Amino acid sequence: MPELPEVESARTVLERYALDREIVDVDDTDTWVCRPHAPGSIRAALLGRKLTAANRRGKSMWLDTTGPTLGIHLGMSGKMVFVDESSAEHDGGDYWQRGRAPGDHRFTRFELSFRDGTSLMLVDPRRLGRVRLDPPVEHLGPDARDITPAQFRAALSRGTAPVKARLLDQEALAGVGNLLADQILWLAKVNPSRPVSALTRPDLDRLQRATRRSVDAAIAEGGVHTLSVVPYRREGALCPRCHTEMRRATVGGRTTWFCPREQV
């Protein structure tokens, strides 16, 4: 799945370019990406409408319109592509698509056409994205970029789950995926398997600061693949701080890499 930074880059493109344009056509014929809506249902709901705001919480993104809310999930390889009046492209989304050449729209799964000749597409080669009306977002926890220290402590201190599993729980903390979680835990020097009930107040404060630092860095540099510990998530790699060999484990059903010397 995309993580918060990739979704934020897509949201920024939508906010900057796609708002306040009248929709004159909608291609919603991909029955998998647009499920559970039948072909033509989203089109009928959006024709003549305008996008009025681009929103995100965690990994979830949705657009307010002058009609129903439009939810767009990027999936593992999705990218939002806006084509402007001069046919120039502006895009944002998952880093798996960073090599797509401008004008390559072979994998367009959903498209909005605007009265001024511009268009907005979900380009998704793996077809793992999702478009739906009125998406449920009320169950999501606080956004990992905006969460306050008090909210963070409340989200991570209840129960006995491993701390990495709790970081990945979107109802506790929205936006953290596998790579972000490993970066956060490595920066905070916390073992991914440690139960949240064993975290001290200093542990929680370090984790909250590491979360904000990691999210901001990934947004600034173009995605979670740019995070500093990511190149060392492999066999034989040494921790970039202490040069101990990195260790692999499975926590909460996810592959995890950590430094066995510093992350205790």
| pLDDT tens, residue by residue, 241-252 | 999 999 999 998
pLDDT value, residue 98:
55
Q: Going by C-beta distance under 8 Å and a sequence separation of 6 or more, which residues neighbour residue 4?
A: 56, 58, 59, 143, 144, 145, 174, 175, 176, 177, 180, 215, 218, 219
Mean pLDDT of the chain: 92
Question: Does a structural domain hold residue 86?
Answer: yes
What residues make up the domain containing 121? 4-133
Q: Which residues form the catalytic set?
A: 2-3, 59, 254
pLDDT of amino acid 81? 93
CB–CB of 146/8 below 8 Å?
no
Q: Which residue has the higher pLDDT, 119 or 95?
A: 119
Point out the least confidently predicted range of 34-48, 96-110, 152-166, 215-229. 96-110
Identify the pLDDT of residue 22. 98
State if pTM tops 0.75: yes
| In contact, 30 and 110? CB cutoff 8 Å | yes
Mean pLDDT on 81-109: 78
* Total tally of structural domains belonging to the chain: 2
Q: Same structural domain for residues 101 and 35?
A: yes
73 and 159 co-located in one domain: no
Instruction: Tell me: do 32 and 110 sit in the same domain.
Output: yes
Residue 263 resides in a domain: no
